[in-house]
Amino acid sequence: MIGDLANKIKESKIVGSDLEAVLLSVCALGDDKKEEDLSLILKLPELNISQIKEYQGTEQVKKFIFRPQNLSEYVGQEKAKKVIKTNLLKIKKLRPVHFLIDGLKGHGKSTLAKIIANSLDSECYEIIASEITLDKLTEIINWINTCEKLPIIFIDEIHGLDGKIIEILYPIMEDYKIEGKRIKPFVLIGATTEKNVLVQNYSPFVDRFQVQITLERYMVDDIVKILKQYKEKIYPEFKVDDNDLKTIAENCKFTPRIAISMLEDLLIIEKVEEVLDMHNIIIDGLDSVDIKILQILDKSEKPVGEEALAMMLGLSRKDYKFLHEAYLIEMGYMARGRTGRFITEKGKKVLEKLDKQS
């Protein structure tokens, strides 16, 4: 029984005071080995920075990534930028507000959060939601209260917050208090790809974000601008044909992160057709898995369920849904009905186009 309990605690990632409480409760049962077993998972080992040797080379390290530092450098998302500009002034002239930024992976949510922090006379504490335990939350609150500048907390993947943490945050976000203790006013920025999960499970939490921004999918022209900016900032010595940049922009599912990866491959391979092949692009930006989904739906006489499709593709439901289905539905290649997924006329035309090319 104790072994099973230990495994459950490991899987739940309980640490700190929460785990101590569990440990004491289990030890009260009287098994001599329970405390010994569970003490092994009391806390995860911490990285000892003092044991890491710093690189002593004298050459200048080349910068391998470019992130926009202000809104003028940030390409696209004009509606979002307008909202942010207004609320930056509100923070400077009136009071702090909290931001919730949602959008697809690779669309610049984290970059926008850091731009907000850069635009204010602030200090920023950045953390991933899954790392926030009760002990870590205490550490964050103490950091806020000792900050000399405006404290900004950036929580990435905020949909991954534990429910207990979210409930504790309610009065902190709204009243800057916790059980009567005052907390210095701060700005909370949350980034998520799954706002729907938060709305469904913790609607009051979402309501406490006065500024809610949904990033739009980029279009070809904006992707081309992003690629040109990135190349000029990081790889100015390379020359790239504008037509190749447009080809990448048309085949990256309109996602800057994917487009930049393809651009860097192009700088080495120099043939955009080979880059598309490397990234498994078959036609019109669709990869082999996308095409297989359309082929399954085209051959099926009735709609197919999400779980069945994921199994046929050898994918988890989450990977199927977020990496493939969301894009195919948004672009009109397939649709979702009450009894399952089905191919659209646009999807059938892509398959016909592919057949003619083969």
Q: Are 324 and 293 in contact (CB under 8 A)?
A: yes
Q: Answer for the pair 141, 179: CB distance below 8 angstroms, yes or no.
A: no
Are the C-beta atoms of 99 and 208 separated by less than 8 Å? no
Yes or no: domain 286-357 corresponds to CATH 1.10.10.10: yes
Q: What is the CA radius of gyration of the chain?
A: 25
Predicted TM-score (pTM) above 0.85: no
Cα separations in angstroms, 255 against 67, 97, 130, 266, 328 = 15, 29, 25, 17, 14
Burial 138-150 (b: 16+ CB within 10 A, else e): eebbeebeebeeb
What pLDDT, on the 0 to 100 scale, is given for residue 210? 96
Beta bridge partners of 153: 125, 188
78-214 topology per CATH: Rossmann fold (3.40.50)
Q: Give the three-class secondary structure for 336.
A: strand
pLDDT in tens, the chain (358 residues): 555 555 555 545 555 555 555 555 555 555 554 444 444 444 445 667 777 887 777 666 556 678 888 999 999 999 999 999 999 999 999 999 999 999 988 888 999 999 999 999 899 999 999 999 999 999 999 999 999 999 999 999 999 999 999 999 999 999 999 998 999 999 999 999 999 989 999 999 999 999 999 999 899 999 999 999 999 999 999 999 999 999 999 999 999 999 999 999 999 999 999 999 999 999 989 999 999 999 999 999 999 999 999 999 999 998 998 889 989 999 999 999 999 999 999 999 999 999 888 7
Scored b (16 or more CB within 10 A) or e, 269-285 reads: eeebeebbeebebbeeb
Res 35: pLDDT: 44
What is the model's pLDDT at position 57? 74
pLDDT given for residue 147 in this prediction: 92
* Token pair 């204010």: residue: 120
Half-sphere exposure of 183 (CA within 13 A, CB side): 27
Structure confidence at residue 127 (pLDDT): 94
Helix (H) or strand (E) holding 189: strand 187-192
Phi, psi at 316, each rounded to 5°? -70, 160
